[in-house]
């Protein structure tokens, strides 16, 4: 592995040049070395997890998890053999079956490994199929998990659940759907984070290099409020049958609330679009895929005006274009390099779209009463991935 040291922002140009030369030497050496036989030989078969003895005292068990960095700082549920077996009864997949290899360490996530982390997070056994689907989704190449896990950006993985499973598991799509109080939302979001950490190797301060992080890295999960959604729900838009249950993973930045009291669709879209346009956004640097969570009230305003979801996306895409000159000089140079194939030569007056196309803006309806819409910037070089939840029991 070639290590790229941080930080750059406080170093002189000559220091950065020396660091870069060292990195290039490391990469060249690794590219030219012969691969050891132990790496290219057939991998050993995946085995079941091996139980080990722990103290009976819950505080002692939690202290063990703290020392071994297996938790997230909150109290854990011990993953006993019985608890894990109970979880595994909710899938037809074999315990040793590989679900995915999780970046950046590319640890092997078996069905049993997913179940163990689900128990630690406090999930009900019936939640396991959602987590299996979410683990498959984050490993998709277009999600770009390796960058998401290792960046200094405060990106978190957001789960959006659709379909009949929402009612079946009691996943909150209404009031406070992104906050506390719903067991399914809290433990599903937490379990995926533990999978990203314990299997993917993204320990804070090590492979996870986030400068500040964000609270969404503890848990970030909600359902879409399909009952109050005037448009087709997210999973139908993404090609699944209405009766299917799905989970969608999003590489989400820090949230920004829009309190907008207007009953006029044009005003509503103008203000949301103006909120989207900020010069420090990865979405404008790279051409990203941001999301909008319309409250049911705001969605109703837009629907009464005769606007389809695709038209809402088109309007937001057009009205959120931002002059490239608003960026800091170094950030503009970065954007000129990253988006030249998409936009051609970029000058100070170039109007940058937030995403390459309007369709890459995500829109869902969620939440309870109130004239609020949440803007969810994306990490930038990431695309949401949806997988169907397959029930096993």
The residue from 252, 286, 319 where one domain ends is: 252
The residue from 229, 252, 275 where one domain ends is: 252
Instruction: Look at residue 288 and tell me whether its pLDDT is greater than 60.
Output: yes
Residue-wise pLDDT tens digits, 327-368: 999 999 999 999 999 999 999 999 999 999 999 999 999 999
pLDDT of residue 41: 59
pLDDT of residue 212: 96
Instruction: Look at residue 39 and tell me whether its pLDDT is greater than 60.
Output: no
Same domain, yes or no, for 173 and 129? yes
pLDDT of residue 321: 98
pLDDT of residue 105: 95
Specify the pairing of strand 372-376 against strand 291-294: antiparallel
Same domain, yes or no, for 320 and 341? yes
Provide the mean pLDDT of the chain. 95
Same domain, yes or no, for 146 and 278? no
Same domain, yes or no, for 246 and 363? no
DSSP-based three-state secondary structure for 120: helix
DSSP string, 14-30: HHHHHHHHHHHHHHHHH
Output 94-100 pairs: Cβ under 8 A, ≥24 positions apart.
95/48, 96/45, 96/46, 96/47, 96/48, 98/46, 99/132, 99/135, 99/136, 99/139, 100/135, 100/136, 100/138, 100/139
Residue-wise pLDDT tens digits, 113-162: 999 999 999 999 999 999 999 999 999 999 999 999 999 999 999 999 99
Same domain, yes or no, for 94 and 224? yes
Same domain, yes or no, for 175 and 239? yes
Residue-wise pLDDT tens digits, 68-114: 999 999 999 999 999 999 999 999 999 999 999 999 999 999 999 99
- Encoding tokens for residue 284? 């404008």
The pTM for the full model equals 0.93
Same domain, yes or no, for 247 and 276? no
- 12 in a structural domain: no
CA separation (Å) from 351 to 2, 232, 313, 320, 332? 37, 31, 17, 9, 12
Same domain, yes or no, for 248 and 336? no
CA separation (Å) from 134 to 179, 207, 226, 347? 20, 21, 20, 40
φ, ψ for residue 164 (rounded to 5)? Answer: -60, -25
- 233 in a structural domain: yes
* Residue 283 CA from chain centroid, whole number: 15
Measured CA to CA, the distance from residue 102 to residue 108 in angstroms comes to 7
Q: Which H or E run includes 119?
A: helix 111-121
- 96 in a structural domain: yes
- 387 in a structural domain: no
Q: Determine the Cα angle at 87 with ends 243 and 129, to 5°.
A: 25
If one counts the domains in the chain, the total is: 2
pLDDT of residue 80: 96
Residues pairing with 157 in the sheet: 251
Look up the domain containing 113 and give its range.
Answer: 57-252
| pLDDT average, residue stretch 19-37 | 87
pLDDT of residue 266: 98
Residue-wise pLDDT tens digits, 190-240: 999 999 999 999 999 999 999 999 999 999 999 999 999 999 999 999 999
pLDDT of residue 38: 61
Q: Which H or E run includes 362?
A: strand 362-365
Instruction: Look at residue 384 and tell me whether its pLDDT is greater than 80.
Output: yes
Instruction: Look at residue 40 and tell me whether its pLDDT is greater than 60.
Output: no
- 218 in a structural domain: yes
Instruction: Look at residue 44 and tell me whether its pLDDT is greater than 80.
Output: no
- 34 in a structural domain: no
Same domain, yes or no, for 236 and 188? yes
pLDDT of residue 43: 62
In this structure, the number of other CB atoms found within 10 A of the CB of residue 367 comes to 26
- 38 in a structural domain: no
- Encoding tokens for residue 174? 């209404």
Q: Torsion angle, CA of 296/297/299/305, rounded to 10 degrees?
A: 150
Residues pairing with 294 in the sheet: 365, 373
Residue-wise pLDDT tens digits, 46-66: 788 999 898 889 999 999 999
- 112 in a structural domain: yes
Q: What is the percent of the chain where pLDDT is above 70?
A: 97
Same domain, yes or no, for 230 and 247? yes
DSSP string, 147-194: HHHH-SS--EEEEEEESTHHHHHT---STTTTSSS-HHHHHHHHHHHH
| pLDDT average, residue stretch 4-18 | 84
Least confident of 47-61, 65-79, 273-287, 295-309: 47-61
pLDDT of residue 47: 80
pLDDT of residue 9: 76
Same domain, yes or no, for 91 and 236? yes
Same domain, yes or no, for 88 and 209? yes
């Amino acid at each position: 592995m070639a290590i790229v040291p941080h930080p750059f922002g406080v170093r002189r140009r000559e220091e950065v040049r020396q660091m870069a030369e060292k990195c290039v030497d490391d990469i060249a050496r690794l590219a030219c070395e012969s691969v050891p036989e132990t790496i290219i030989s057939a991998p050993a078969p995946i085995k079941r997890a091996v139980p080990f003895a722990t103290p009976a005292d819950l505080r002692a068990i939690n202290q063990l998890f703290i020392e071994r960095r297996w938790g997230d700082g909150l109290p854990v549920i011990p993953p006993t053999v019985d608890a894990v077996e109970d979880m595994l009864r909710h899938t037809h997949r074999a315990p040793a079956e590989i679900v995915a290899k999780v970046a950046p360490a590319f640890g092997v996530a078996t069905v049993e490994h997913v179940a163990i982390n689900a128990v630690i997070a406090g999930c009900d056994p019936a939640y396991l199929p959602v987590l299996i689907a979410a683990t498959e989704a984050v490993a998709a190449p277009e999600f770009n998990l390796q960058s998401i896990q290792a960046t200094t950006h405060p990106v978190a993985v957001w789960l959006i659940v659709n379909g009949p499973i929402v009612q079946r598991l009691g996943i909150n799509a209404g009031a406070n759907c992104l906050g506390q109080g719903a067991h399914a939302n809290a433990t599903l979001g937490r379990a995926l984070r533990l999978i990203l950490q314990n299997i993917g190797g993204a320990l804070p301060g090590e492979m996870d290099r986030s400068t500040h992080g964000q609270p969404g890295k503890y848990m970030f999960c909600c359902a879409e409020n399909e009952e109050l959604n005037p448009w087709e729900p997210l999973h139908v838009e993404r090609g699944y049958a209405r009766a299917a249950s799905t989970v969608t993973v999003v590489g989400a930045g820090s949230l920004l609330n829009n309190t907008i009291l207007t009953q006029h669709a044009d005003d509503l879209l103008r203000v949301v679009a103006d909120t989207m346009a900020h010069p420090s956004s990865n979405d404008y640097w790279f051409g990203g895929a941001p999301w909008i969570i319309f409250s049911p009230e705001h969605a109703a305003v837009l629907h009464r005006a005769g606007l389809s979801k695709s038209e809402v996306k088109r309007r937001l895409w057009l009205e959120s274009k931002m002059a490239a000159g608003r960026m800091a000089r170094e950030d503009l140079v970065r954007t000129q390099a990253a988006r030249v194939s998409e936009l051609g030569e970029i000058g100070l007056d170039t109007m940058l779209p937030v995403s390459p196309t309007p369709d890459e803006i995500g829109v869902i309806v969620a939440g309870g009463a109130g004239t609020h819409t949440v803007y969810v910037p994306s990490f930038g070089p990431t695309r949401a991935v949806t997988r169907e939840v397959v029930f096993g029991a």
